[in-house]
Amino acid sequence: MATLTYREAAQRVRRSVRTIKRWRLGGMPMGWEIQHGQKVRVVDEEVLLSWWRDRLDGWPAHQYRLRRIHAAAAAEQLEQ
């Protein structure tokens, strides 16, 4: 299981470090790890992706985008 620092987690889900910190404050479980002699916060990649999917499910813009994609795919199938 891969663990990611704040910066790595932000890059993985294409969000800001501030967003990852906000998710942690919202209850996302994170731990500590020693890297290069420094104690850093880390999150398991599976936990991060799970939180990311949950946030997307609650984001109206993402829902509209999904509906548009599905509508376009349905229209394309009707044309064939």
User: Tell me, what amino acid is at 25?
Assistant: L
Rounded Cα distance, 36 and 63, in Å = 41
Tell me the CATH number of domain 3-79, given options 1.20.58, 1.10.3470, 1.10.10, 2.60.420: 1.10.10
Along the 80 residues of the chain, how does pLDDT read in single tens digits? 799 999 999 999 999 999 999 999 999 999 999 999 999 999 999 999 999 888 887 778 777 777 888 888 888 888 87
CB atoms inside a 10 Å sphere around CB 17: 14
How many Cα atoms within 13 Å fall on the side-chain side of residue 74? 6
Q: What is the pLDDT of residue 40?
A: 94
CB atoms inside a 10 Å sphere around CB 9: 29
Q: What is the pLDDT of residue 73?
A: 87
Q: What is the pLDDT of residue 77?
A: 84
